[in-house]
Structure 1
Amino acid sequence: MLSNFNYKFGNSLCGCHSRLDRESPISFAKKLFRLPTVYFLLLFFLALPLHAADDFFFKANELYDQGRYKESVKYYRAAIDDGRYEPFAWFNLGNALVQLGKKEVAMVAYKRTVELLPDFVKAWMLLGDLYYLAESPSDAIVAYNRAIELGTETDHIHFALAECYMKGSDWTLAQKHFERALALNPDRMDAWYGLAEVYEKLGDYEYAVKTLKNALQMTATAGADVHYTLSYYYRSMDSTRLALNEMENGIMMDPENVSARRYLAQMYVKNESPWMAIFTLEEGLRHKKGIADLNLDLGQIYFTQKRYDEAFECYMKAWRAGNSQGRIGAENVGHIFSNAGDTEKAETLYARIRDKK
């Protein structure tokens, strides 16, 4: 009987990502599959002589725990053929096959497990993950719901169900399961993003914003990405000032994020605040990251302001740091002086470009 065995499983996991890159059941499944193998000893077996099934099964477990998954497969198959540990050998075989990247075959192993042990919750959960990986959310929903029916309710199951319903554009059920995942684990940031995205899909940006504001209040795992996502929502609501504020909040938490810093600078330029764009980019240079791109952006702003000498220096720094667009920008500065009749200045700049100085 199932209750006679002692199972050792891995801990539940959660992740924190931005709205566009939050943890999905795909990556979650990959983590969840790294489980210690199943060990079960019936006390009365200790008094019996070793059976071939014991040798096969425990040898397979030993190899699995050593990371020798390919070698463990043949021993699990031998244990299955013997029949004594068949359902559990099927389950561990599924785990080993997942580690080997053979997910379709692993699905067969998990299906066989639940056929032999219909109340084995872990097998239903992992089967749900594999269905999701196979782009079969409807089958995944059945598997996850079966796990819930068996009395196991985790934030992983509800998050995975919500993602499945999102794929089917069932926003109501997606919302229900994201909310349930958060009730079980308020620190699950990807569920906060998911819930906010439900409201975004419904065109209700105010509730999307409210959701992420709640996340900032209720979880310590909220990071700069929350502010970047809030900025996106505020832009969608045509609230430039609030969008800028949230980008600034994100940069304060994540000062070395070059892409976010460049985007904030672009926002300032569009908001007719080039001096703030310059300040933002120059602050980024202090962190010694993205030097080529930051200098290129500075050069473009100076060029637009007709501050050609400063533009030229920034373009050259961008080029020397590896951005070929910097050379084009520097040449354009030279052309400006040439077209204005200042051939001496132009030739001086062209000489520096040729020498890359």
Structure 2
Amino acid sequence: MGYCILVVHGLNRLCAVVGRWGAAALTVSMLLLLLLFSWKTVQQNEIWLSREALFRSGIQTLPHNAKVHYNYANFLKDRGRNQEAIHHYKTALRLYPRHASAMNNLGTLTRHPEEAERYYRRALDINLQHNRALFNLGNLLKSHGKEEEAELMLRDSIRFGPQFADAYSSLASLYAEQKRFAEANETYLQGIENCPDSSDLHNNYGVFLVDTGDGERAAEHYQQAVRLKPAHYVAMVNLGRLLRSANDNKEAESWYKRALLVTRKVDILTPLGALYYNTGRYEEALQVYREAAALQPDSTDVWLALAQVLAMAGRSKEAEKMTMGIISKSSSCIECYRLLSAIYSKRGNHTEALDSLDLALQQNLADAGVKAELHFSKGNQLREMNQLNQAFESYKLAVELNPDQSQAWMNMGGIQHIKGDYAAARMYYERALLLTPGSKLLKENLAKLDRLEKKLHGR
């Protein structure tokens, strides 16, 4: 304000000296100057309207400043504008080749693992203690099976950045994959001690505890993750799954719904839909799966789940039509053929059910367990059609692929029982009983067999 008063006072003194025409010219000049400065102020104000405008202004003002390009690249990277970010990281490195963080961040945006590794190693050549480069290189090596070097990198990342929570999670995950559970547990606890405010660390530790059978403690850490970050929907879903596995469906549902208040994602909708499906709430399941399908229209799993709910809700024609639509887009969908088989079987169309299972078996099946289940289902269809010899062969194929398939052994015993080969029936029943010693049905079948054999011997 003092400066303004001084300018006005000086202008008045000048006007008194230069006369009337001079005063007019001076006034016009001053007004033009004011307009010019006002226009410049308006222009500068536009720069402050957004962070990006500020960064762009900085680059225009200081085009040869590496730090300005690096900061703008970070902004672009956070916005997912990766190609622009790469350009500015490279510009920063051209201006200052020893910028380790620019080198590291460029590695994270590189699609080719070999190139990314070169960037991380160059960053570490510049700064051996760059904990982010150590972390990124450790994760890259871990993904390529170089576990010993990965462990060294992650340990160094923690040593040089003890408040970097992600490094603890990665190292603990590596230990868990190697079955070094005590070391994994110790690493998580060390991370929580050094990074008590990391919600992700608590969530990841919860996942580890579930995997190692300590669900009660896992629930505590999931809840702590949510307390630290009330919008942590991943921890909410994990807690919901844990409660669901403990048959606490009401609490599980409340956590899924709480997660949906944060964001409407397929990863949240599908477990909620599964909960409704498994508890017989089919209309609610349909509503949830339809929303999931709208969000992810190309997901075979979501459409298949929707078709399964329709089938269970008694809307078999809709389920059949939807399943056929999925197969038309993805002919290798094994579960689609199984669902069609179940739909046809429920209608009593065993031939069509059998055809669907044959189509499933014609697919390129890598999982022996899935193949065993298909042969078992085929055996059931053949048995319903009273084709006992073929059914027996299907059950036999099932147990060859999966010797722990108790029901298949029992059904083989049942077929031999019907055919009067009691010795073979007993052998199959007893094999099934070894797998399921608490089965009442097996014990009843063996008791019937005993009575029949006694009658035969009595004759």
**Same fold by TM-score, threshold 0.5 exceeded?**
yes
| Change beyond 3 A, Cα 1:216–1:115 | same
Alignment of 1:192-211 (within 5 A): 192-211=303-322
Matched residue pairs, number?
269
Q: Superposition pairs for residues 209-248 of structure 1, below 5 Å?
A: 209-223=320-334, 225-237=335-347, 240=348, 242-248=349-355
Larger gyration radius, structure 1 or structure 2: 2
Q: Distance in 2 between matches of 1:288 and 1:169?
A: 32
Report if aligned partners of 1:147, 1:153 keep a CA contact under 8 Å in 2.
no
Aligned in 2, Cα 1:147/1:297: closer, same or farther, shift over 3 Å?
closer
Deviation at 1:97, TM superposition (A): 1.9
Which residue is 1:107 aligned to?
A: 219
Matched ranges for 1:1-357 at <5 A: 53-54=162-163, 58=167, 61-67=170-176, 68-82=180-194, 85-151=197-263, 153-154=265-266, 156-183=267-294, 184=296, 186-189=298-301, 191-223=302-334, 225-237=335-347, 240=348, 242-254=349-361, 257-269=374-386, 278=389, 289=400, 315=421, 319=424, 322-323=427-428
- Helix, strand or coil at the partner of 2:251: helix
Instruction: Note closer, same or farther for the CA distance 1:115–1:247 as it changes in structure 2 (3 Å cut).
Output: same
Shift of 1:60: 6.4
Quick check: which one's helix share is greater? 2
Q: Which residue of 1 aligns with 2:140?
A: none
Give per-residue Cα distances to partners, 1:59-118, cap 9 Å, x unaligned.
564243222343343444344445565434423332332232212211111111111112
Q: Which sits farther off after the overlay, 73-82 or 119-128?
A: 73-82
2:52 corresponding residue in structure 1: none
Deviations 1:183-214 (A, max 9, x none): 4164444x445434433443333333333333
* Conserved 8 A contact 2:409-2:429: no
1:56·1:76 contact (CA, 8 Å) conserved in 2? no
* Offset, 1:174: 0.6
Quick one: which amino acid aligns to residue 222 of structure 2? Y
Pick closer, same or farther for the CA change 1:179–1:220 going to 2, 3 Å.
farther
Partner AA of 1:177 in structure 2:
V
Q: Is the 8 A contact 1:69 1:99 kept in 2?
A: no
**What's the TM-score once normalised by structure 1's chain length?**
0.56
Q: Is the 8 A contact 2:273 2:284 kept in 1?
A: yes
SS class of match (1:119): coil
Q: What secondary structure, in the 3-state scheme, does the structure 1 residue paired with 2:354 have? A: helix
Q: Contact 1:70/1:100 (CA < 8 Å) preserved in 2?
A: no
CA RMSD of aligned residues (A): 4.7
Higher relative contact order (CA 8 A, sep 6+): 1
% identity of equivalent residues: 16
Is 1:186–1:218's contact at 8 Å kept on the other side of the alignment?
no
Q: Distance in 1 between the 2:308 and 2:377 partners?
A: 20
Q: TM-score, normalised by structure 2?
A: 0.45
CA shift digits 1:29-56 (9 cap, x unpaired):
xxxxxxxxxxx969xxxxxxx7894499
Code of the residue aligned with 1:64 in structure 2: it is S
d(CA) in 2 for partners of 1:169, 1:294: 29
Runs of 5+ unmatched residues, structure 1: 8-39, 43-49, 304-310, 340-357
**Residues in 2 aligned to 1:99 and 1:288: alpha-carbon distance in whole angstroms:** 29
Distance in 1 between the 2:394 and 2:192 partners?
Answer: 63
Task: Determine the C-alpha separation between the residues in 1 that align with 2:280 and 2:413.
Answer: 42
Q: Check 1:62–1:289 CA distance in 2 against 1; reply closer, same or farther (3 A cut).
A: closer
Match of 1:29 in 2: none
- Measured in 2, the distance between the counterparts of 1:295 and 1:128 equals 40
| AA at the equivalent of 1:122 | V
In 1, Cα distance between the equivalents of 2:398 and 2:276? 42
Residues 140-182 of structure 1, C-alpha deviations (whole Å, 9 max, x = no match): 334334444434612x322101122235543222102222334
Structure 2 contact 164–195 (Cα < 8 Å) conserved: no
Structure 2 CA distance, aligned partners of 1:281 and 1:234? 21
For the residues of structure 1 that align with 2:240 and 2:399, how far apart are their CA atoms? 45
